[in-house]
Structures are given as structure tokens and as C-alpha cells.
Amino acid sequence: MIGGDWWNEGQAVTGAVRLANGSRWDSAWIQLLEVYEYREVGVFYFAEEVHSLTFPSPWLKQCPTVYEVSRAKDRARVAESFESYEESFARELEHFHDCVVNGTECRTPPEQARLDMDVLTRMFLKAGSGR
Amino acid sequence: MRTQVREAVGADSPAVITAFEGAFLGSLVHDVNLVHGLLERLGERCRPR
């Protein structure tokens, strides 16, 4: 864990992790209740490619999740975009239902949840609690 | 919940509860979990130090 912070009475948080391979992972969550806007984006930056995954607001119907890959080709930027209308939030609930009803192995088992909690707690502790 | 937050991070003011329980553990957790899943697919394990 190399960084963490929170501000605005806890309505905004951030954290940074150094991965074993030397790359850096930055996360931020910011809530602005007066703004009617929702953005959730994950981006992976590699030397030759950039991959991004953009989720729509879970309250909107028929909005696609967009996966985009861009790379250089013939001295130009080439980008491919994939749109899926299989709502990720609905699929999450369907998988949970499948786990409960049919005993399907959960993609996010308790061990994963424990690791998530550990990372998030370390982010908070890195920031300190004095605000 | 205040007790759990205090045990985890040593403080339990309203702002700490909002930040730690609400923002970190309740909201950012979804994205942290997503990144963990993607890193696993890439063969990159995350173990905080």
C-alpha cells in the first residue's frame, strides 16, 4: 500500500497500491449528490495497449457496458469497442441466485472478500483518521 | 457498527464511519473486487504489504 486519503466528510476516498510486478494501481470513489451523473471506469495501461471498461449507471435500463481496446497501428491509434447489453448488475444477481439455489461455485468467494477488505482497510489506515 | 469500525481502524467519528464503512467498504469495494478479478485473469496476484 503506497497511498490513501479521504476528504469531504468521507464522501470521497482514494487509495494506491504497488503491485508485485512494479506497476501501480490507483482507485478513487467520489460522491457528489448534487450532480446527476454516474461514472464507473476501470482502465489498464500497458506499454502497447490501453484497455478500458465503462459501466453504466445501475439505475438505467438498456445501457451498455463498454469495453475498449486501443493500440498503435500504421502510425495511428486504432481502437476497438465492444458493447454488451447483458447488464452486469443483473448478471451479478443471477450468479448469486445460482450459487444459492444450485450450489454453483461463487466467483467471489469469502477469501476474495477478505482480501478486498484487507486492501480497503489498509488504504484507510494509510490516510489516517484525523479529519 | 461503530464498535466494528473502531476495532478495525481505531476511530469511530461520523466522518470516519462514512469514509471507512460507507465509501471504502461499501462503495469502492466493488471496484477493488473488479480489479482483483482482472488482475487474477492477467496472472498478477495482489497481496498487500
What pLDDT band is residue B49 in, cutting at 50, 70 and 90?
Answer: low
Read off the C-alpha cell for A84.
454488451
Please report the pLDDT score of residue A131 as a whole number.
67
Distance from CA of A101 to the nearest CA of B (A): 23
pLDDT at A129 over 80: no
Read off the C-alpha cell for A86.
447483458
Minimum CA–CA partner of A6 in chain B? B19
Chain-chain contact of A116 with B39 (C-beta, under 8 angstroms): no
Minimum CA–CA partner of B12 in chain A? A129
Compare A131 and A63 and report the one with higher pLDDT. Answer: A63
The pLDDT of B28-47, averaged and rounded, is 88
Of A19, A29, A44, the CB nearest to B23: A29
pLDDT at A128 over 90: no
Helix residue ranges per DSSP H, chain A: 88-102, 110-127
pLDDT at A57 over 60: yes
Q: How many CB atoms lie within 10 A of CB A5?
A: 17
Query: CA nearest A13: which of B45, B17, B13?
Result: B17
Of B10, B24, B45, the CB nearest to A20: B45
What is the rounded average pLDDT for all residues in chain B? 90
Mutant choice from A124, A125, A131 vs B, greatest count of B C-beta within 10 A: A124
Please report the pLDDT score of residue A115 as a whole number.
93
The pLDDT of A59-88, averaged and rounded, is 94
Tell me which long-range contacts A67-71 makes (C-beta under 8 A, separation of at least 24): none
Rounded CA-CA distance A39/A53 in Å is: 11
Distance from CA of B35 to the nearest CA of A (A): 8
Report CA A85 to chain centroid distance, whole Å: 18
What is the rounded average pLDDT for all residues in chain A? 93
The pLDDT of A62-86, averaged and rounded, is 96
B41 at A interface, C-beta within 8 A:
no
Chain-chain contact of B28 with A29 (C-beta, under 8 angstroms): yes
Rounded CA-CA distance B49/A122 in Å is: 9
Segment A1-38, tens digit of pLDDT: 999 999 999 999 999 999 988 999 999 999 999 998 99
List all residues of chain B from 8 to 37 with a beta carbon under 8 Å from chain A.
8-11, 13-20, 22-25, 27-29, 31-37
pLDDT at A62 over 90: no
Share of chain A above pLDDT 90, in %: 82
What pLDDT band is residue A89 in, cutting at 50, 70 and 90?
Answer: confident
Place of cell 488482475: B39
Rounded CA-CA distance A62/A56 in Å is: 9
pTM, entire model: 0.89
What pLDDT band is residue B9 in, cutting at 50, 70 and 90?
Answer: very high
